[in-house]
């Protein structure tokens, strides 16, 4: 059964308990890139970790708004 982008976004958001699909997708993208970099022995930029933290804080803020 084929999956469309909406279904994937909904699944990511549900898995992370996030109402905002864009934030869920952004964090998933960052996580996957960090995993690939770590598995290949590459160092990641501290900016990536900061970006992930900012997105996580945005999610927490959204949850408090709801």
Instruction: Give the per-residue pLDDT at 63.
Output: 67
How many domains does the chain fold into? Answer: 1
pLDDT tier for residue 65 given thresholds of 50, 70 and 90 = low
Q: Which domain holds residue 14?
A: 5-65
Determine the pLDDT at residue 46.
Answer: 79
pTM: 0.52
Confidence band (pLDDT; 50, 70, 90) for 57? Answer: confident
CA dihedral 47, 53, 58, 60 (to 10 degrees): 180
Contact 18, 24 (CB under 8 A): yes
pLDDT of residue 1 exceeding 50:
no
């Amino acid at each position: 059964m084929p999956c469309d982008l909406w279904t994937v976004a909904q699944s990511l958001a549900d898995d992370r308990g996030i109402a905002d699909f864009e934030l869920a997708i952004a964090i998933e993208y960052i996580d996957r890139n960090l995993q690939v970099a770590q598995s290949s022995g590459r160092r990641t930029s501290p900016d990536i970790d900061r970006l992930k933290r900012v997105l996580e804080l945005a999610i927490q803020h959204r949850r408090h708004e709801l």
